[in-house]
């Protein structure tokens, strides 16, 4: 099972890059897989990496959203708040 996840992760990262849902979900799944048979040492770095990517993506969404609000406010003739 691990080899399938690793192959999928390699494909997702090659085709889409690290910051896409498929790659992050696969990292997370690998971490969960390693947690099951008490392989915490292997699970933690995978889960930590997946969490870090999710946090970066969320920061981008928040930043992009606030940028869009400023553009909308200027377009509509409102001042920024």
Which bin fits 80, alpha (ψ -120 to 50), beta or left (φ > 0)? beta
pLDDT band at 81 (very low <50, low <70, confident <90, very high): very low
How much is the pLDDT for 26?
A: 92
Is 65 within a domain? yes
How much is the pLDDT for 79?
A: 55
pTM greater than 0.95 (yes/no) = no
Is 26 within a domain? yes
pLDDT tens for 21-80 read: 889 999 999 988 888 767 778 888 888 888 899 888 888 888 887 655 554 555 556 555
Q: Where are the alpha helices (DSSP H) in the chain?
A: 2-15, 21-35, 40-75
How much is the pLDDT for 25?
A: 92
Is 13 within a domain? yes
Is 68 within a domain? yes
- What is d(CA 2, CA 36) in angstroms, rounded to the nearest whole number? 12
Range of the domain at 15: 2-75
- Number of domains the chain contains: 1
């Amino acid at each position: 099972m691990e080899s399938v996840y690793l192959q999928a992760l390699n494909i997702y990262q090659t085709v889409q890059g690290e910051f896409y849902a498929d790659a992050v979900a696969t990292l997370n799944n690998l971490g969960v897989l390693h947690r099951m048979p008490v392989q915490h040492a292997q699970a933690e770095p995978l889960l930590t990496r997946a969490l870090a990517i999710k946090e970066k993506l969320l920061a981008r969404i928040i930043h992009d959203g606030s940028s869009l609000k400023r553009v909308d406010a200027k377009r509509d003739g409102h001042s920024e708040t």
